[in-house]
Amino acid sequence: MQNNLNKNKLTNLKEDLKKNQIEIMLYPSKCDGCETEGFAACVKACEAHMGKKYGSKYTGARINIKKKSGRFFPIICHNCEEAPCVDACMPGARYKDTESGWTVTNYKKCVGCWMCVMSCPFGAIERIGAGRFASKCDGCIDEGTPKCVEACKKGALKRIGIKNYSYERRLMVAKKIYGPYIKSVEKR
Amino acid sequence: MKYVIIGNSYAGLSCADAIRRFDKSGDVAIISDENYRAYARPLISYYLEGKTTDETIWYKEDDYYEKNNFKLMLGKRVVSVDTVSKKVVLEDGDELYYDKLFIGPGGTPFVPPTEGFNPDSPMMGTFTKFDDAKKMEKAAKFAKNKEAIVVGGGLIGLKASEGLRALGLHVTIVELLPRVLGLALDEISGNITSKRLNENGIDTATGETVTKINLDESGNPESVILKSGKVLKADIVVVGVGVRPNVGFLEGSGIKIDRGIIVDKTMMTSVKDVYAGGDAAVIYDILNKRPNIIAIVPLACEEGRVAGTNMAGVYREYPGGMGLNSVEIYGLPIVTIGLTNPSNESQKVYMFQDENVYRKLVYDGEVLVGAILLGDIAGSGILSAVIRQGLKCLKYKDEFLNGNIYSFVIDSEFEIYNINEGYAVRGDFEDLPEFSRTNWR
């Protein structure tokens, strides 16, 4: 039984990577906006990395920390299935990458019409750069761990496989319903 | 299964994509009366500015049609649709049989009766197609006095004048309504926009129309006479008043037409197996609560997708859309969503204005029904989602006005996910209440 559990429980990150089933997971309650440091680590890391990746013309953070009465929330692309920003994009700059399933942007095509900014229900798209482009998180799909996740020391951002995610989520719901009566498998 | 799609633009391609998603093997033929593969039509003004070029104006990647196995028929005009024997008749006499037909013909430019206007002249024309932009690019080189008149101060007119201005011409916009973007903006925002235009070399003559175009001996414009009697020099005259659904070829097909093509919830027309979408379709306007033609890109894509899904045999309903638009004019971003000018007394208006930013919210009771954002548009998508879903959000009024639009998302996200839970930014949450991606449409 114990062996069986161990075999089935943990997901293989590598295997998930192959299937492109890697997510960025948010734990908003753990985010404190890095207030003591004066800047948000994830935002800074993303900005620096995007400048390197897309060139100085398209630099600008793709993640943003917003605050409301002491609560922080990382605003990041939710990667909608039928993304409103893809529908709204007039030049066809934003598209679904069929291999990874992420919504990505071809910045060469972007003209700055702000149709996607107007359509994103999460406010995850912003105007950036001197040339005014609509920036959006691309999940760093072609790389290892996203830089924002690497930079976050608070554990508010996590990179996780889809099986692991579903397991954690089920556990959370169970904890919420049964409270202290359920034993966390993690602590075992 | 044989699918035929009339119209090779946003609605048509979105429909084709949806068909391919559910039907990998069916024959899909896409008919277009233009000689280009799909290009970003609203971007022709950016083409004049040089922001988009011959390489980047194409809407899809180069091998899009081959990769998805779509048969593309360029330069073919459809003259009639025979819904009884299920065939489409082309201009050159060819006939195309279909099992399911999608009609996404878009709009043709509307030209108000103006003495002297001749669209065949190289210095005059409308502004909706790639060819129009190329024509204007040439015309600008031959303009002697570098003066251009743009009739219509809507989005087409505004973008056309911005494009012509970038070619070095002095442009005057002649608009019938008392302000530019008259249907979407209010007085204050209209004035801010006009000011921005005037600062950049575009004059606005509002409350005016062109009554006559004076021609020289070769048939090109020399000057225009306005309603007020004013005479303005003009080398180029562009009419960008608006578009009308391009439905002339459907006469006698039995498809019900009232201004545009009437469709039901599944985007099917009054004739079985014939679907429609895009700028020519009459869809349900969720804010005005009546059928309406809303000619914008996001809705064209949505309509095409719903139609294509149904055509491929998977039932799906379209809940209706609302008007919203965004544009940037010389560094001034403008977003208008929903009902921006209150239509009855039960609707209340809240405004915020400072040097660079203007925000206006229109509430009907507790429900937000419209918004204008000028200068700072960050988070405007949240407002459009709120308006589209008809959420009660009167208590967020002040925060919206002050630009803290994100506070709504933060609250709802924390509410939904319960502050201590984490969640991934991708996945399927069928069980989640209101503010989630799954019922965003």
All residues at 6 or more sequence positions from B144 whose CB lies less than 8 Å from its CB, including other chains: B235
Phi, psi of B50 (to 5 degrees): 90, 5
A90 and B14 in contact by Cβ < 8 A?
Answer: no
B60 contacts A92 by C-beta, under 8 angstroms: yes
Interface check for B430 against chain A (CB to CB < 8 A): the answer is: no
Instruction: Say how far apart CA B47 and CA B189 lie, in whole Å.
Output: 27
Distances (CA, A) of B71 to A70, A85, A131, B66, B76: 56, 27, 37, 8, 13
**Which residues of chain B are within 8 Å of residue A115 when distances are taken between CB atoms?**
297-298, 325-326
| pTM of the shown model | 0.86
Residue B189 is predicted with a pLDDT of 92
Give the rounded distance of the alpha carbon of B94 from its chain centre.
Answer: 31
B303: three-class secondary structure by DSSP: helix
Instruction: Say how far apart CA B132 and CA A178 lie, in whole Å.
Output: 67
**Which residues of chain A are within 8 Å of residue B36 when distances are taken between CB atoms?**
none
Residue B441 is predicted with a pLDDT of 32
Q: Of B281, B243, B339, B227, whose CA–CA distance to B14 is shortest?
A: B281
The fourth-level CATH superfamily of domain B332-439 is FAD/NAD-linked reductase, C-terminal dimerisation domain (3.30.390.30)
What is the distance in angstroms between the Cα of B429 and the nearest Cα belonging to chain A? 11
Query: Any idea what DSSP says for residue B392?
Result: B
Instruction: Say how far apart CA A94 and CA A88 lie, in whole Å.
Output: 9
Residue A128 β-bridge partners: A133
Interface check for B404 against chain A (CB to CB < 8 A): the answer is: yes
Residues present in chain A in total: 188
Give the rounded distance of the alpha carbon of B15 from its chain centre.
Answer: 17
Residue A179 is predicted with a pLDDT of 59
The burial class, CB within 10 Å (0-12 / 13-18 / 19+), for B228 is exposed
Query: Any idea what DSSP says for residue B249?
Result: G
Phi, psi of B379 (to 5 degrees): 80, 10
Give the rounded distance of the alpha carbon of B247 from its chain centre.
Answer: 17
Instruction: Say how far apart CA B276 and CA B274 lie, in whole Å.
Output: 7
**Which residues of chain A are within 8 Å of residue B324 when distances are taken between CB atoms?**
118-119
The burial class, CB within 10 Å (0-12 / 13-18 / 19+), for B414 is middle
Q: Of B288, B266, B300, whose CA–CA distance to B390 is shortest?
A: B288
| Secondary-structure class of domain A17-161 per CATH | alpha beta
- Across the range A68-76, mean pLDDT stands at 83
Residue B421 is predicted with a pLDDT of 44
Give the rounded distance of the alpha carbon of B433 from its chain centre.
Answer: 31
Q: Give the start-to-end residue ranges of the domains of chain B.
A: 2-42+57-108+244-311, 124-241, 332-439
Give the model confidence (pLDDT) of B266-310 as tens digits.
999 999 999 999 999 999 999 988 999 999 999 999 999 999 999
Between residues 298 and 317 of chain B, which touch chain A (CB distance below 8 Å)? 298, 301-302, 305
- Across the range A175-187, mean pLDDT stands at 55
A121 and B377 in contact by Cβ < 8 A?
Answer: no
Distances (CA, A) of B154 to A91, B234, B379: 20, 20, 24
Give the model confidence (pLDDT) of A84-136 as tens digits.
999 999 999 999 887 777 888 988 888 888 999 999 988 889 888 677 888 88
Confidence band, pLDDT 50/70/90 cuts, at residue A180: low
Q: Over the range A17-38, which residues count as b (16 or more CB within 10 Å of their CB) and which as e? A: eeeebbbbbbbbbebbbbeeee
Domains B2-42+57-108+244-311 and B124-241 share a fold: yes
Q: Of B219, B220, B174, whose CA–CA distance to B197 is shortest?
A: B174
Residue B429 is predicted with a pLDDT of 38
Q: Is the CATH code 3.50.50.60 the one for domain B124-241? A: yes
Stronger pLDDT, A26 or A6, i.e. the higher one? A26
Residues present in chain B in total: 441
Pairing mode of beta strands B147-151, B170-175: parallel
B28 contacts B66 by C-beta, under 8 angstroms: no
Phi, psi of B136 (to 5 degrees): -70, -35
Q: Which residue of chain B is at minimal alpha-carbon distance from A109?
A: B56
Between residues 140 and 169 of chain B, which touch chain A (CB distance below 8 Å)? none
The CATH code belonging to domain B2-42+57-108+244-311 is 3.50.50.60
Low-confidence ranges of chain B (pLDDT < 50): 418-441
Instruction: Say how far apart CA B256 and CA B280 lie, in whole Å.
Output: 12
Phi, psi of B15 (to 5 degrees): -65, -45
Q: Give the start-to-end residue ranges of the domains of chain A.
A: 17-161
Mutation target to probe the B interface, by most B beta carbons within 10 A, among A90, A97, A148 is A90
Across chain A, what does the average pLDDT equal? 77
Closest partner residue to A25 (CB to CB) among B333, B422, B440 is B422
Interface check for B381 against chain A (CB to CB < 8 A): the answer is: yes
Q: Over the range B376-386, which residues count as b (16 or more CB within 10 Å of their CB) and which as e? A: bbbbbbbbbbb
What is the distance in angstroms between the Cα of B122 and the nearest Cα belonging to chain A? 27
